[in-house]
Structure 1
Amino acid sequence: MPDLKEKVAIITGASSGIGRGTAVEFAQLGAHLALTGRNQENLQATAKVCVEAGTLQDKILLVTGDICDEQLQKNLVEQTVQKFGRVDVLVNNAGTLKYGTIETIDMAYFHQSMDVNVRSVVILTQLCIPHLTKTKGAIVNVSSVCGTRAFPGVLAYNMSKSALDQFTRCVALELAPKQIRVNSVNPGVIATEIHKRSGMSEQKYVKYLEHSKTTHALGRVGDVSEVAKTIAFLASSDASFITGAQVPIDGGRHAMCPR
Protein backbone atom coordinates (compact mmCIF):
# COMPACT_ATOMS: atom_id res chain seq x y z
CA MET A 1 0.00 0.00 0.00
CA PRO A 2 1.20 3.57 -0.67
CA ASP A 3 2.88 5.20 2.32
CA LEU A 4 1.12 8.46 3.12
CA LYS A 5 1.42 8.25 6.92
CA GLU A 6 1.50 11.76 8.38
CA LYS A 7 1.80 13.32 4.92
CA VAL A 8 -0.14 16.56 4.67
CA ALA A 9 -2.52 16.60 1.71
CA ILE A 10 -4.70 19.38 0.35
CA ILE A 11 -7.69 17.97 -1.55
CA THR A 12 -10.11 20.24 -3.40
CA GLY A 13 -13.68 19.32 -4.23
CA ALA A 14 -13.67 16.99 -1.24
CA SER A 15 -17.36 17.29 -0.40
CA SER A 16 -18.44 14.56 -2.84
CA GLY A 17 -17.47 12.11 -5.56
CA ILE A 18 -13.82 11.51 -6.37
CA GLY A 19 -12.71 14.18 -3.91
CA ARG A 20 -14.50 12.49 -1.01
CA GLY A 21 -13.25 9.08 -2.08
CA THR A 22 -9.69 10.39 -2.24
CA ALA A 23 -9.98 11.95 1.21
CA VAL A 24 -11.17 8.64 2.64
CA GLU A 25 -8.41 6.70 0.88
CA PHE A 26 -5.78 9.12 2.21
CA ALA A 27 -7.31 8.86 5.70
CA GLN A 28 -6.98 5.09 5.60
CA LEU A 29 -3.31 5.53 4.67
CA GLY A 30 -2.64 7.81 7.64
CA ALA A 31 -2.47 11.22 5.92
CA HIS A 32 -3.33 14.54 7.53
CA LEU A 33 -6.02 16.27 5.52
CA ALA A 34 -6.87 19.80 4.42
CA LEU A 35 -10.20 19.52 2.65
CA THR A 36 -12.18 22.12 0.77
CA GLY A 37 -15.55 22.22 -0.96
CA ARG A 38 -18.54 24.50 -1.45
CA ASN A 39 -21.08 22.57 0.61
CA GLN A 40 -20.29 22.77 4.32
CA GLU A 41 -22.69 19.99 5.30
CA ASN A 42 -21.27 17.60 2.73
CA LEU A 43 -17.71 18.56 3.64
CA GLN A 44 -18.42 17.77 7.28
CA ALA A 45 -19.87 14.44 6.17
CA THR A 46 -16.60 13.72 4.35
CA ALA A 47 -14.67 14.53 7.52
CA LYS A 48 -16.87 12.15 9.50
CA VAL A 49 -16.17 9.31 7.06
CA CYS A 50 -12.45 10.10 7.22
CA VAL A 51 -12.51 9.82 11.01
CA GLU A 52 -14.31 6.49 10.69
CA ALA A 53 -11.55 5.45 8.25
CA GLY A 54 -8.84 6.12 10.82
CA THR A 55 -7.84 9.79 10.82
CA LEU A 56 -8.06 11.70 14.09
CA GLN A 57 -10.49 14.63 14.07
CA ASP A 58 -7.70 17.10 14.90
CA LYS A 59 -5.78 15.96 11.83
CA ILE A 60 -8.50 17.28 9.51
CA LEU A 61 -8.83 20.89 8.40
CA LEU A 62 -12.02 21.99 6.65
CA VAL A 63 -12.16 25.17 4.56
CA THR A 64 -15.55 25.80 2.99
CA GLY A 65 -16.04 28.01 -0.06
CA ASP A 66 -15.73 28.54 -3.78
CA ILE A 67 -12.41 27.22 -5.13
CA CYS A 68 -12.38 30.14 -7.61
CA ASP A 69 -12.21 32.64 -4.73
CA GLU A 70 -8.56 33.68 -4.54
CA GLN A 71 -8.90 34.61 -0.88
CA LEU A 72 -10.18 31.12 -0.11
CA GLN A 73 -7.21 29.66 -1.98
CA LYS A 74 -4.79 31.74 0.08
CA ASN A 75 -6.60 30.86 3.29
CA LEU A 76 -6.55 27.16 2.42
CA VAL A 77 -2.79 27.06 1.96
CA GLU A 78 -2.00 29.39 4.88
CA GLN A 79 -4.28 27.54 7.30
CA THR A 80 -2.87 24.18 6.18
CA VAL A 81 0.69 25.30 6.88
CA GLN A 82 -0.35 26.95 10.13
CA LYS A 83 -2.09 23.80 11.37
CA PHE A 84 0.26 21.10 10.05
CA GLY A 85 3.50 22.96 9.34
CA ARG A 86 3.92 21.69 5.79
CA VAL A 87 2.32 20.58 2.52
CA ASP A 88 3.31 17.26 0.97
CA VAL A 89 0.54 16.65 -1.55
CA LEU A 90 -1.84 18.80 -3.58
CA VAL A 91 -4.80 17.07 -5.22
CA ASN A 92 -6.55 19.43 -7.65
CA ASN A 93 -9.87 17.65 -7.93
CA ALA A 94 -12.59 20.33 -7.92
CA GLY A 95 -14.38 20.44 -11.26
CA THR A 96 -17.56 21.38 -13.05
CA LEU A 97 -19.41 19.76 -15.96
CA LYS A 98 -22.33 20.93 -18.09
CA TYR A 99 -23.51 19.90 -21.52
CA GLY A 100 -23.29 22.13 -24.56
CA THR A 101 -22.07 22.13 -28.17
CA ILE A 102 -20.41 24.93 -30.12
CA GLU A 103 -23.93 26.00 -31.18
CA THR A 104 -25.57 25.82 -27.76
CA ILE A 105 -22.84 26.56 -25.24
CA ASP A 106 -23.56 29.26 -22.70
CA MET A 107 -20.53 31.54 -22.59
CA ALA A 108 -21.04 32.30 -18.91
CA TYR A 109 -20.60 28.60 -18.23
CA PHE A 110 -17.64 28.43 -20.63
CA HIS A 111 -15.85 31.00 -18.48
CA GLN A 112 -16.92 29.23 -15.28
CA SER A 113 -15.60 25.94 -16.62
CA MET A 114 -12.21 27.46 -17.35
CA ASP A 115 -12.17 29.21 -13.97
CA VAL A 116 -12.97 26.06 -11.98
CA ASN A 117 -11.21 23.39 -14.03
CA VAL A 118 -8.09 25.36 -15.02
CA ARG A 119 -7.57 28.79 -13.49
CA SER A 120 -8.14 27.70 -9.88
CA VAL A 121 -5.66 24.86 -10.40
CA VAL A 122 -3.00 27.24 -11.71
CA ILE A 123 -3.38 29.65 -8.81
CA LEU A 124 -3.52 27.01 -6.08
CA THR A 125 -0.49 25.28 -7.56
CA GLN A 126 1.43 28.56 -7.51
CA LEU A 127 0.55 29.07 -3.85
CA CYS A 128 1.68 25.57 -2.91
CA ILE A 129 5.01 25.51 -4.77
CA PRO A 130 7.12 27.09 -1.98
CA HIS A 131 5.81 24.51 0.48
CA LEU A 132 6.04 21.55 -1.89
CA THR A 133 9.61 22.56 -2.68
CA LYS A 134 10.53 22.07 0.97
CA THR A 135 8.98 18.61 1.10
CA LYS A 136 9.78 17.54 -2.47
CA GLY A 137 6.09 16.89 -2.73
CA ALA A 138 3.62 15.76 -5.36
CA ILE A 139 0.73 17.25 -7.28
CA VAL A 140 -2.07 15.14 -8.75
CA ASN A 141 -4.57 16.80 -11.08
CA VAL A 142 -7.91 15.13 -11.69
CA SER A 143 -8.53 15.38 -15.42
CA SER A 144 -10.65 13.12 -17.63
CA VAL A 145 -10.60 10.90 -20.68
CA CYS A 146 -12.20 14.01 -22.21
CA GLY A 147 -8.79 15.66 -21.93
CA THR A 148 -7.21 13.12 -24.26
CA ARG A 149 -10.10 12.20 -26.56
CA ALA A 150 -12.80 14.20 -28.36
CA PHE A 151 -16.46 13.73 -27.44
CA PRO A 152 -19.37 15.83 -28.78
CA GLY A 153 -21.76 17.65 -26.49
CA VAL A 154 -19.43 18.70 -23.66
CA LEU A 155 -17.24 21.24 -25.41
CA ALA A 156 -16.23 23.47 -22.48
CA TYR A 157 -15.46 20.49 -20.26
CA ASN A 158 -13.38 18.80 -22.96
CA MET A 159 -11.41 21.98 -23.63
CA SER A 160 -10.78 22.63 -19.95
CA LYS A 161 -9.53 19.11 -19.29
CA SER A 162 -7.27 19.20 -22.34
CA ALA A 163 -5.81 22.45 -20.99
CA LEU A 164 -5.36 20.81 -17.61
CA ASP A 165 -3.41 17.94 -19.16
CA GLN A 166 -1.08 20.35 -20.95
CA PHE A 167 -0.68 22.25 -17.68
CA THR A 168 0.29 18.98 -16.01
CA ARG A 169 2.95 18.20 -18.59
CA CYS A 170 4.43 21.71 -18.67
CA VAL A 171 4.49 22.17 -14.91
CA ALA A 172 5.99 18.70 -14.42
CA LEU A 173 8.99 19.84 -16.48
CA GLU A 174 9.20 23.23 -14.80
CA LEU A 175 9.09 21.79 -11.28
CA ALA A 176 11.26 18.72 -11.91
CA PRO A 177 14.45 20.58 -10.80
CA LYS A 178 12.73 21.13 -7.46
CA GLN A 179 11.90 17.39 -7.29
CA ILE A 180 8.18 18.14 -7.25
CA ARG A 181 6.30 15.52 -9.25
CA VAL A 182 3.18 16.51 -11.21
CA ASN A 183 0.80 13.98 -12.75
CA SER A 184 -2.84 13.69 -13.69
CA VAL A 185 -5.42 10.93 -13.57
CA ASN A 186 -7.85 10.72 -16.49
CA PRO A 187 -10.98 8.83 -15.45
CA GLY A 188 -13.62 7.54 -17.81
CA VAL A 189 -17.20 7.36 -16.60
CA ILE A 190 -17.16 7.02 -12.82
CA ALA A 191 -20.32 6.47 -10.78
CA THR A 192 -20.67 9.85 -9.01
CA GLU A 193 -23.29 12.60 -8.88
CA ILE A 194 -21.53 14.89 -11.37
CA HIS A 195 -23.68 13.95 -14.36
CA LYS A 196 -26.94 14.48 -12.47
CA ARG A 197 -25.65 17.78 -11.09
CA SER A 198 -24.94 18.81 -14.67
CA GLY A 199 -28.64 18.51 -15.50
CA MET A 200 -29.06 14.86 -16.48
CA SER A 201 -32.33 13.35 -15.20
CA GLU A 202 -32.33 10.18 -13.14
CA GLN A 203 -33.89 8.26 -16.03
CA LYS A 204 -31.32 9.50 -18.53
CA TYR A 205 -28.51 8.81 -16.06
CA VAL A 206 -29.56 5.17 -15.70
CA LYS A 207 -29.59 4.82 -19.50
CA TYR A 208 -26.24 6.60 -19.72
CA LEU A 209 -24.62 4.19 -17.26
CA GLU A 210 -26.01 1.23 -19.16
CA HIS A 211 -24.76 2.61 -22.48
CA SER A 212 -21.37 3.32 -20.93
CA LYS A 213 -20.83 -0.40 -20.49
CA THR A 214 -20.35 -0.50 -24.27
CA THR A 215 -17.98 2.49 -24.41
CA HIS A 216 -15.47 1.06 -21.94
CA ALA A 217 -13.49 -1.98 -23.01
CA LEU A 218 -13.88 -3.68 -19.63
CA GLY A 219 -17.65 -3.52 -20.02
CA ARG A 220 -18.51 -1.38 -17.00
CA VAL A 221 -18.17 2.07 -15.50
CA GLY A 222 -15.61 2.81 -12.82
CA ASP A 223 -15.84 3.21 -9.07
CA VAL A 224 -14.61 6.21 -7.09
CA SER A 225 -12.27 4.01 -5.07
CA GLU A 226 -10.44 2.94 -8.22
CA VAL A 227 -9.60 6.56 -8.99
CA ALA A 228 -8.75 7.34 -5.36
CA LYS A 229 -6.28 4.46 -5.13
CA THR A 230 -4.47 5.65 -8.26
CA ILE A 231 -4.29 9.19 -6.90
CA ALA A 232 -2.83 7.84 -3.67
CA PHE A 233 -0.23 5.86 -5.63
CA LEU A 234 0.84 8.90 -7.65
CA ALA A 235 1.03 11.00 -4.48
CA SER A 236 3.24 8.47 -2.71
CA SER A 237 6.90 7.52 -2.92
CA ASP A 238 5.84 4.39 -4.80
CA ALA A 239 5.57 6.68 -7.85
CA SER A 240 8.90 8.39 -7.18
CA PHE A 241 10.03 8.20 -10.83
CA ILE A 242 6.73 9.20 -12.43
CA THR A 243 6.08 12.79 -13.46
CA GLY A 244 4.30 14.48 -16.36
CA ALA A 245 2.03 11.46 -16.86
CA GLN A 246 -1.65 11.22 -17.72
CA VAL A 247 -2.88 7.98 -16.18
CA PRO A 248 -6.09 6.64 -17.73
CA ILE A 249 -8.55 5.09 -15.28
CA ASP A 250 -11.20 4.37 -17.83
CA GLY A 251 -11.52 0.65 -18.44
CA GLY A 252 -9.73 1.06 -21.77
CA ARG A 253 -11.99 3.77 -23.17
CA HIS A 254 -9.07 5.96 -24.27
CA ALA A 255 -7.79 3.14 -26.48
CA MET A 256 -11.08 2.42 -28.21
CA CYS A 257 -12.02 3.38 -31.78
CA PRO A 258 -15.65 2.25 -32.17
CA ARG A 259 -16.60 1.06 -35.66
Structure 2
Amino acid sequence: MSLAGKVVIVTGASSGIGAATAVEFAKQGAKVALVGRNETNLKESEEACKKANNKVEIFAIIADVTVDAERIVKETVDKLGQLDVLVNNAGIADTGHILDIEVEQFDRILNTNLRAVFLLTKYAAPHLIKTQGNIVNVSSVAGLRSFPGISSYCTSKAALDQFTRCIALDLAPHKVRVNAVNPGVIITDIHKRMGMTEEQYAKYLEDCKATHALGRVGEAKEVADSIVFLASDKSSFITGATLPIDGGRHAMCPR
Protein backbone atom coordinates (compact mmCIF):
# COMPACT_ATOMS: atom_id res chain seq x y z
CA MET A 1 0.00 0.00 0.00
CA SER A 2 3.09 2.28 0.19
CA LEU A 3 2.09 3.58 3.62
CA ALA A 4 5.17 2.54 5.58
CA GLY A 5 6.59 5.53 7.42
CA LYS A 6 3.65 7.77 6.52
CA VAL A 7 2.17 9.93 9.28
CA VAL A 8 -1.59 9.59 9.71
CA ILE A 9 -4.08 11.42 11.91
CA VAL A 10 -7.22 9.46 12.75
CA THR A 11 -9.90 11.37 14.66
CA GLY A 12 -12.50 9.51 16.66
CA ALA A 13 -9.89 6.79 17.11
CA SER A 14 -11.07 5.62 20.51
CA SER A 15 -13.78 3.28 19.19
CA GLY A 16 -15.62 1.87 16.20
CA ILE A 17 -14.49 2.70 12.69
CA GLY A 18 -11.75 5.04 13.93
CA ALA A 19 -10.16 2.42 16.17
CA ALA A 20 -10.30 -0.21 13.42
CA THR A 21 -8.82 2.24 10.91
CA ALA A 22 -5.92 3.10 13.20
CA VAL A 23 -5.08 -0.59 13.56
CA GLU A 24 -5.10 -1.13 9.78
CA PHE A 25 -2.77 1.83 9.24
CA ALA A 26 -0.44 0.46 11.90
CA LYS A 27 -0.40 -2.92 10.12
CA GLN A 28 0.74 -1.07 6.99
CA GLY A 29 3.66 0.48 8.86
CA ALA A 30 2.27 3.99 9.21
CA LYS A 31 2.88 6.23 12.20
CA VAL A 32 -0.53 6.99 13.67
CA ALA A 33 -1.76 9.93 15.75
CA LEU A 34 -4.85 8.71 17.58
CA VAL A 35 -7.32 11.47 18.47
CA GLY A 36 -10.19 11.03 20.91
CA ARG A 37 -11.87 12.40 24.02
CA ASN A 38 -12.05 9.21 26.08
CA GLU A 39 -8.62 8.59 27.58
CA THR A 40 -9.35 5.01 28.64
CA ASN A 41 -10.69 3.97 25.24
CA LEU A 42 -7.88 5.81 23.47
CA LYS A 43 -5.36 3.85 25.50
CA GLU A 44 -7.06 0.62 24.39
CA SER A 45 -6.79 1.72 20.76
CA GLU A 46 -3.13 2.53 21.27
CA GLU A 47 -2.50 -0.95 22.67
CA ALA A 48 -4.39 -2.53 19.75
CA CYS A 49 -2.21 -0.66 17.27
CA LYS A 50 0.97 -1.73 19.05
CA LYS A 51 -0.25 -5.31 19.12
CA ALA A 52 -0.87 -5.14 15.36
CA ASN A 53 2.62 -3.75 14.75
CA ASN A 54 5.00 -3.08 17.62
CA LYS A 55 7.55 -1.44 15.32
CA VAL A 56 5.52 1.66 14.43
CA GLU A 57 5.15 4.85 16.42
CA ILE A 58 1.72 5.49 17.93
CA PHE A 59 0.88 8.91 19.39
CA ALA A 60 -2.29 9.45 21.41
CA ILE A 61 -3.85 12.93 21.56
CA ILE A 62 -6.68 13.50 24.01
CA ALA A 63 -8.67 16.24 22.30
CA ASP A 64 -12.07 17.47 21.18
CA VAL A 65 -12.12 18.07 17.42
CA THR A 66 -14.59 20.94 17.83
CA VAL A 67 -12.12 23.07 19.80
CA ASP A 68 -8.67 21.50 19.39
CA ALA A 69 -8.22 21.20 15.61
CA GLU A 70 -5.16 23.44 15.38
CA ARG A 71 -3.51 21.75 18.39
CA ILE A 72 -4.16 18.28 16.95
CA VAL A 73 -2.31 19.10 13.73
CA LYS A 74 0.50 20.99 15.47
CA GLU A 75 1.19 18.28 18.04
CA THR A 76 1.21 15.59 15.36
CA VAL A 77 3.70 17.43 13.16
CA ASP A 78 5.85 18.41 16.15
CA LYS A 79 5.95 14.82 17.41
CA LEU A 80 6.06 12.82 14.17
CA GLY A 81 7.74 15.32 11.85
CA GLN A 82 5.20 15.63 9.04
CA LEU A 83 1.66 14.79 7.97
CA ASP A 84 0.72 12.54 5.07
CA VAL A 85 -2.89 11.50 5.71
CA LEU A 86 -5.81 13.07 7.58
CA VAL A 87 -8.75 10.79 8.38
CA ASN A 88 -11.72 12.86 9.55
CA ASN A 89 -13.68 10.14 11.29
CA ALA A 90 -15.00 11.75 14.49
CA GLY A 91 -18.75 12.19 14.32
CA ILE A 92 -21.94 12.18 16.35
CA ALA A 93 -25.60 11.46 15.64
CA ASP A 94 -28.95 12.04 17.26
CA THR A 95 -32.60 11.48 16.48
CA GLY A 96 -35.68 13.67 16.43
CA HIS A 97 -38.54 15.01 14.34
CA ILE A 98 -38.28 18.57 13.03
CA LEU A 99 -41.31 19.52 15.17
CA ASP A 100 -39.52 18.37 18.32
CA ILE A 101 -35.77 18.88 18.01
CA GLU A 102 -34.08 21.99 19.31
CA VAL A 103 -31.62 24.14 17.38
CA GLU A 104 -29.01 22.97 19.89
CA GLN A 105 -29.04 19.52 18.29
CA PHE A 106 -28.53 20.91 14.81
CA ASP A 107 -25.66 23.13 15.96
CA ARG A 108 -24.00 20.37 17.98
CA ILE A 109 -24.08 17.83 15.14
CA LEU A 110 -22.99 20.28 12.45
CA ASN A 111 -20.23 21.56 14.73
CA THR A 112 -18.71 18.08 15.09
CA ASN A 113 -19.51 16.51 11.74
CA LEU A 114 -18.78 19.48 9.47
CA ARG A 115 -17.22 22.52 11.12
CA ALA A 116 -14.52 20.46 12.85
CA VAL A 117 -13.69 18.79 9.53
CA PHE A 118 -13.36 22.23 7.94
CA LEU A 119 -10.96 23.35 10.68
CA LEU A 120 -8.84 20.20 10.63
CA THR A 121 -8.65 20.36 6.84
CA LYS A 122 -7.66 24.02 6.89
CA TYR A 123 -4.87 23.47 9.41
CA ALA A 124 -3.68 20.20 7.85
CA ALA A 125 -3.68 21.34 4.21
CA PRO A 126 -0.33 23.21 4.23
CA HIS A 127 1.39 20.12 5.67
CA LEU A 128 -0.35 17.78 3.23
CA ILE A 129 0.74 19.96 0.33
CA LYS A 130 4.36 19.52 1.46
CA THR A 131 4.03 15.73 1.39
CA GLN A 132 1.48 15.52 -1.45
CA GLY A 133 -0.66 13.60 0.98
CA ASN A 134 -4.39 13.09 1.12
CA ILE A 135 -7.59 13.31 3.16
CA VAL A 136 -10.27 10.68 3.75
CA ASN A 137 -13.52 11.86 5.29
CA VAL A 138 -15.88 9.41 6.95
CA SER A 139 -19.37 10.31 5.81
CA SER A 140 -22.43 8.03 5.74
CA VAL A 141 -25.07 6.54 3.50
CA ALA A 142 -27.18 9.21 5.22
CA GLY A 143 -25.30 11.73 3.10
CA LEU A 144 -26.46 9.95 -0.05
CA ARG A 145 -30.01 9.02 0.96
CA SER A 146 -32.72 10.61 3.11
CA PHE A 147 -34.14 9.09 6.30
CA PRO A 148 -36.83 10.39 8.65
CA GLY A 149 -36.03 11.26 12.24
CA ILE A 150 -32.32 12.03 11.75
CA SER A 151 -32.44 15.25 9.71
CA SER A 152 -29.51 16.96 11.46
CA TYR A 153 -27.27 13.96 10.91
CA CYS A 154 -28.30 13.48 7.27
CA THR A 155 -27.74 17.17 6.58
CA SER A 156 -24.29 17.13 8.15
CA LYS A 157 -23.19 14.15 6.06
CA ALA A 158 -24.63 15.49 2.80
CA ALA A 159 -22.73 18.72 3.46
CA LEU A 160 -19.59 16.71 4.21
CA ASP A 161 -19.86 14.94 0.85
CA GLN A 162 -20.08 18.27 -0.96
CA PHE A 163 -17.22 19.67 1.11
CA THR A 164 -15.17 16.62 0.10
CA ARG A 165 -15.75 17.29 -3.60
CA CYS A 166 -15.07 21.01 -3.33
CA ILE A 167 -11.84 20.64 -1.36
CA ALA A 168 -10.72 17.89 -3.74
CA LEU A 169 -10.88 20.49 -6.52
CA ASP A 170 -9.20 23.15 -4.37
CA LEU A 171 -6.27 20.89 -3.54
CA ALA A 172 -5.94 18.96 -6.81
CA PRO A 173 -3.45 21.48 -8.28
CA HIS A 174 -1.28 20.77 -5.22
CA LYS A 175 -1.48 17.00 -5.85
CA VAL A 176 -3.44 16.45 -2.63
CA ARG A 177 -6.34 14.01 -2.99
CA VAL A 178 -9.58 14.23 -0.97
CA ASN A 179 -12.14 11.44 -0.80
CA ALA A 180 -14.89 10.13 1.46
CA VAL A 181 -16.35 6.79 2.46
CA ASN A 182 -20.09 6.45 3.08
CA PRO A 183 -20.73 3.53 5.44
CA GLY A 184 -24.12 1.91 5.84
CA VAL A 185 -24.99 0.36 9.18
CA ILE A 186 -21.76 -0.81 10.78
CA ILE A 187 -21.46 -2.63 14.10
CA THR A 188 -20.13 0.08 16.44
CA ASP A 189 -21.46 1.70 19.62
CA ILE A 190 -22.97 4.77 17.90
CA HIS A 191 -26.56 3.49 18.05
CA LYS A 192 -26.28 2.68 21.73
CA ARG A 193 -24.89 6.15 22.36
CA MET A 194 -28.01 7.45 20.63
CA GLY A 195 -30.11 5.69 23.28
CA MET A 196 -30.87 2.21 21.92
CA THR A 197 -31.12 -0.58 24.47
CA GLU A 198 -29.47 -3.95 23.84
CA GLU A 199 -32.81 -5.39 22.80
CA GLN A 200 -33.63 -2.50 20.48
CA TYR A 201 -30.18 -2.69 18.90
CA ALA A 202 -30.48 -6.44 18.31
CA LYS A 203 -33.85 -5.93 16.60
CA TYR A 204 -32.43 -3.06 14.55
CA LEU A 205 -29.57 -5.21 13.27
CA GLU A 206 -32.04 -7.94 12.36
CA ASP A 207 -34.21 -5.43 10.47
CA CYS A 208 -31.12 -4.20 8.61
CA LYS A 209 -30.89 -7.50 6.79
CA ALA A 210 -33.75 -6.21 4.65
CA THR A 211 -32.41 -2.68 4.22
CA HIS A 212 -28.97 -3.70 2.91
CA ALA A 213 -28.85 -5.53 -0.41
CA LEU A 214 -26.22 -7.99 0.80
CA GLY A 215 -28.51 -9.00 3.66
CA ARG A 216 -26.31 -7.98 6.56
CA VAL A 217 -24.70 -5.05 8.32
CA GLY A 218 -21.00 -4.26 8.01
CA GLU A 219 -17.93 -4.64 10.19
CA ALA A 220 -15.69 -1.72 11.15
CA LYS A 221 -12.71 -3.40 9.47
CA GLU A 222 -14.55 -3.40 6.14
CA VAL A 223 -14.76 0.38 6.28
CA ALA A 224 -11.20 0.66 7.58
CA ASP A 225 -9.85 -1.34 4.65
CA SER A 226 -11.49 1.07 2.21
CA ILE A 227 -10.12 4.08 4.07
CA VAL A 228 -6.60 2.64 3.91
CA PHE A 229 -7.07 1.96 0.19
CA LEU A 230 -8.11 5.58 -0.49
CA ALA A 231 -5.18 6.84 1.57
CA SER A 232 -2.67 4.70 -0.31
CA ASP A 233 -1.00 4.95 -3.69
CA LYS A 234 -3.34 2.19 -4.89
CA SER A 235 -5.94 4.95 -5.38
CA SER A 236 -3.58 7.52 -6.88
CA PHE A 237 -6.05 8.58 -9.60
CA ILE A 238 -9.08 8.90 -7.31
CA THR A 239 -10.12 12.24 -5.84
CA GLY A 240 -13.45 13.87 -5.07
CA ALA A 241 -15.08 10.45 -4.69
CA THR A 242 -17.72 9.38 -2.20
CA LEU A 243 -17.47 5.60 -1.89
CA PRO A 244 -20.44 3.70 -0.41
CA ILE A 245 -19.40 0.94 1.99
CA ASP A 246 -22.95 -0.10 2.69
CA GLY A 247 -23.79 -3.51 1.28
CA GLY A 248 -25.70 -1.85 -1.55
CA ARG A 249 -28.04 0.21 0.64
CA HIS A 250 -27.45 3.39 -1.37
CA ALA A 251 -28.78 1.68 -4.50
CA MET A 252 -32.00 0.44 -2.95
CA CYS A 253 -35.47 1.98 -3.27
CA PRO A 254 -38.68 0.92 -1.47
CA ARG A 255 -41.20 -0.92 -3.63
With the length of structure 1 as denominator, give the TM-score of the two structures: 0.97
1:207 partner amino acid:
K
Provide the residue aligned with 2:190 in structure 1: 194
The answer to whether structure 1 residue 92 and structure 2 residue 88 are counterparts is yes
2:18 partner amino acid:
G
How far does residue 65 in structure 1 lie from its aligned partner after superposition?
2.1
Q: Is the 8 A contact 1:192 1:224 kept in 2?
A: yes
Provide the residue aligned with 2:234 in structure 1: 238
Matches within 5 A, 1:206-245: 206-245=202-241
Go from structure 1 to structure 2 and tell me whether the alpha carbon gap of 1:55 and 1:92 turns closer, same or farther (over 3 Å shift): farther
What does the per-residue CA deviation read over 1:211-238, in whole Å, with 9 as the maximum and x for residues that have no partner?
Answer: 0010000000000000000000000000
Q: Percent identity?
A: 56
Q: Is the 8 A contact 1:34 1:80 kept in 2?
A: yes
Secondary structure at the counterpart of residue 156 of structure 2: helix
Q: Is the 8 A contact 1:216 1:250 kept in 2?
A: yes
- Please list every run of at least 4 consecutive aligned residues from structure 1 whose deviation after the TM superposition is greater than 4 angstroms: none
How far does residue 55 in structure 1 lie from its aligned partner after superposition?
4.0
Q: Is the 8 A contact 1:11 1:92 kept in 2?
A: yes
Q: Is the 8 A contact 1:32 1:55 kept in 2?
A: no
The answer to whether structure 1 residue 143 and structure 2 residue 142 are counterparts is no
Q: Is the 8 A contact 1:30 1:55 kept in 2?
A: no
Between the two proteins, the alignment pairs up a number of residues equal to 255
Provide the residue aligned with 1:12 in structure 2: 11
Secondary structure at the counterpart of residue 186 of structure 2: coil
Secondary structure at the counterpart of residue 135 of structure 2: strand
The answer to whether structure 1 residue 172 and structure 2 residue 168 are counterparts is yes
Secondary structure at the counterpart of residue 94 of structure 1: coil
2:58 partner amino acid:
I
Provide the residue aligned with 1:42 in structure 2: 41
Which structure 2 residue ranges, 5 or more long, are not aligned? Answer: none
What does the per-residue CA deviation read over 1:185-231, in whole Å, with 9 as the maximum and x for residues that have no partner?
Answer: 00000000000001111111111000001000000000000000000
Which structure 1 residue ranges, 5 or more long, are not aligned? Answer: none
How far does residue 184 in structure 1 lie from its aligned partner after superposition?
0.2
What does the per-residue CA deviation read over 1:103-157, in whole Å, with 9 as the maximum and x for residues that have no partner?
Answer: 1222212101000000000000000011000110010000000001001111100
Go from structure 1 to structure 2 and tell me whether the alpha carbon gap of 1:135 and 1:55 turns closer, same or farther (over 3 Å shift): farther
1:6 partner amino acid:
G
Distance 1:65 1:238 in 2: 31
Match of 1:101 among 92, 97, 107: 97
2:63 partner amino acid:
G
With the length of structure 2 as denominator, give the TM-score of the two structures: 0.98
Secondary structure at the counterpart of residue 254 of structure 1: helix
Distance 1:110 1:117 in 2: 10
